[in-house]
Amino acid sequence: MIDATRGKPHETQVELCGDMQLSTYISENGTDVRNYGGNDGLPEMKRLFAQLLDVAPQNIIVGGNSSLNMMFDCVATLVMKGIWKPGQKFLCPAPGYDRHFAICEYFDLKMLTIPMTPSGPDMDITEELAKDPDVVGMWNVPVFSNPQGYVYSNDTIKRLAKMPAANPAFKLMWDNAYPVHQFNGASPVIANILAECAACGHESRPIMFTSFSKISIPGAAVVCMAGYESALAVFRERIAVQTIGPDKINQLKHVQFFKDLNGIAAHMEKHADILRPKFELACQMLEAAGANFTRPNGGYFISVETPPGCAKKVWQMCKDAGVLLTQAGATFPYGMDPSDTNLRLAPTYLTMDELRRVMEVLCASIKTVNG
């Protein structure tokens, strides 16, 4: 069985950081990173994240190695503090990220599906639903969305920032998972959600997340959240009780290895050289098969659309032929794709030979259901 279910970096990508190690244990502010303290993150790590997200370092809280963990803790904090309540509603652009949806299910937040467009979520529907006082948040992957690889337009971002929301605790959960993960063309430059929200009087609305998971080593990365103090204060309070110090050794290793945004960009060119041929092969074979699919310029996924009512059938045909794809429906809240059309393809973790085999099976299955 060839497993093409998850968007994981291939070992050749992970090995790009094989020589990451410390030259000193002392941070620029004199902190010995082997000891306790520094809940907020090392100043040089905050500065590096600030460059990556185009925000001020004081707006950064550095976390552990998992942005999903940080997002889960964020939702948990808001629920435990009574700011959000079980049974309230969350806006979920779809096709979208199944792990976001799982967090909502875990905390009993009712999910409302927002159709995705090439410029981001359908804003007419989003603005209408935000009028409901029970709507408390919205998931967003603004650059190279999972799975379609779309990039939010500046108009979409500005509308999200200024739209009226009936619930004063409404949050934009801004999962900027792929900010520098282009493999064709330049890295997208989009409007800054923190600045846009502040300009509209909604400073506490956005909470940004990003991660080195698909830049350095997925199992040993560094992540952060960002926002204005009006949004971050409740999380700083939790962190002060939750821990007496994050993994500062790993933070310092990342800063010494990447140094600055130019170092990150040079490193990501190496990732692009590994990923580009895989996406080109997958797209060429899908096109030859007459499939309906997105052609992303970055990120980790390709979104494939089967004829209505056929995604589960194609998924099962692939499984029977020895190819395991992400479960049909997983890209929608509650695993329910109303049209049964969407499949998420993850080419990254496969070798070229494995990917070719996956594509042969998938394309043959699509041709079969197309008649």
At 135, which CATH number? Answer: 3.40.640.10
Residues 78 and 119 in one domain: yes
DSSP code, position 204: T
**234 shares its domain with 294:** no
Buried b (16+ CB within 10 A) or exposed e, 102-121: ebbeebebbbbbbebeeebb
Query: In which domain, by residue range, is 299 found?
Result: 2-13+263-370
Task: Check whether residue 242 and residue 312 sit in a common domain.
Answer: no
Contact indicator for 149, 297 with CB cutoff of 8 Å: yes
If asked whether residues 182 and 132 sit together in one domain, one would say: yes
Contact (Cβ atoms closer than 8 angstroms) between residue 343 and residue 304: yes
Among the candidates 200, 226, 260, a domain finishes at 260
Q: Given 244, 260, 276, which residue is the final one in a domain?
A: 260
Q: Which of 148, 137, 139 is nearest to 171 (CA)?
A: 137
Q: Are residues 269 and 255 in the same domain?
A: no
Residue 187: phi and psi, rounded to 5, are -65, 130
**Cα-atom radius of gyration of the chain, to the nearest Å?**
21
Q: Which letter does DSSP use for residue 334 in this model? A: G
Pick the last residue of a domain from 260, 283, 303: 260
Domain total of the chain: 2
Q: Do residues 159 and 290 share a domain? A: no
The CATH number linked to 357 is: 3.90.1150.10
Residues facing residue 209 across a β-bridge: 175, 225
How open is the CA angle 298-300-305, to the nearest 5 degrees? 95
Q: Are residues 222 and 329 in the same domain?
A: no
H helices present in 225-322, as ranges? 229-242, 248-258, 261-288, 311-320
- Tokens read off for 224: 């952060």
pLDDT by residue for the chain (371 residues), tens only, comes to 999 999 999 999 999 999 999 999 999 999 999 999 999 999 999 999 999 999 999 999 999 999 999 999 999 999 999 999 999 999 999 999 999 999 999 999 999 999 999 999 999 999 999 999 999 999 999 999 999 999 999 999 999 999 999 999 999 999 999 999 999 998 999 999 999 999 999 999 999 999 999 999 999 999 999 999 999 999 999 999 999 988 999 999 999 999 999 999 999 999 999 999 999 999 999 999 999 999 999 999 999 999 999 999 999 999 999 999 999 999 999 999 999 999 999 999 999 999 999 999 999 999 999 87
Contact in structure between 48 and 258 (CB atoms under 8 Å): yes
Based on the fold, state whether residues 127 and 249 are members of the same structural domain: yes
Question: By the 8 A CB rule, do 203 and 3 touch?
Answer: no
Measured between alpha carbons, how far is 201 from 208 in angstroms, rounded to an integer?
Answer: 17
Residues 45 and 119 in one domain: yes
Identify the pLDDT of residue 30.
95
CB 182 within 8 A of CB 279: no
Q: What letter does residue 95 receive in the DSSP assignment?
A: S
Global model pTM greater than 0.85 = yes
Q: What is the DSSP string of 205-234?
A: SEEEEEESTTTS-GGG--EEEE--HHHHHH
Residues 355 and 210 in one domain: no
Are both 33 and 181 inside the same structural domain? yes
- Do 363 and 280 sit in the same domain of this protein? yes
Report the amino acid identity of residue 360. Answer: E
